[in-house]
Amino acid sequence: MKDEFRPVGGYPGYRVSKDGRVESCWARRGRLCIPTEAWHPLKPILRDGYPTVNLAKGGKKTACKIHRLVLEMFVGPCPPGMVACHGDGDRANNDLTNLRWDTQKANADDTLRHGTRAMGSRCRASKLTEDDVVQIRGKKAEGVPTGELAIRYGVSRENIEAIVRRRSWRHLPPPD
């Protein structure tokens, strides 16, 4: 069975398949690019963790994320307020069966379900580890002053209070 390709709207000489392959019929002839009968695959590059291809029109290149190309060509344009979502959380899986238009909230909920949400020490700016937070809560329960804990762990008093009152680091289970 031959794979189904659809032309990429607004970019003549490019097409995309349901499984996320992008092809071009453009070929270089010296300094010129001319259309040919032969199609060749474009090699994706990673931008923000998403496979992306550069499409050219009128001498200008545009970086296009492959998952959006697949959705736009096979499902339709992005509805207002929606984003492209990966069902399995794998940014490299651009198969149409894995993609959908959905809300930003649903996409954020997916990150929690897939375990790809940056929480706790996985956040780049985090100064604390999960063990630090458990120790802070335990020491505060023993009566250690907030200011002393703030100095010891190199964070603000407000941060210590947020940890103790579970306004931050809520994903950690409460003590037994």
Report pLDDT digits (tens) over 23-69: 999 998 888 888 999 999 999 999 988 999 999 998 899 999 999 99
Q: Provide the pairing of β-strand 82-86 with 22-29.
A: unpaired
Quote the pTM value: 0.72
Reading the block at residue 125, the tokens are 């700016």
What letter would DSSP give residue 121? G
C-alpha dist (Å) from residue 124 to 55, 88, 120, 141, 148: 32, 24, 9, 28, 25
Strands (E), the chain: 5-7, 14-17, 22-29, 32-41, 45-47, 50-57, 60-65, 82-86, 99-103
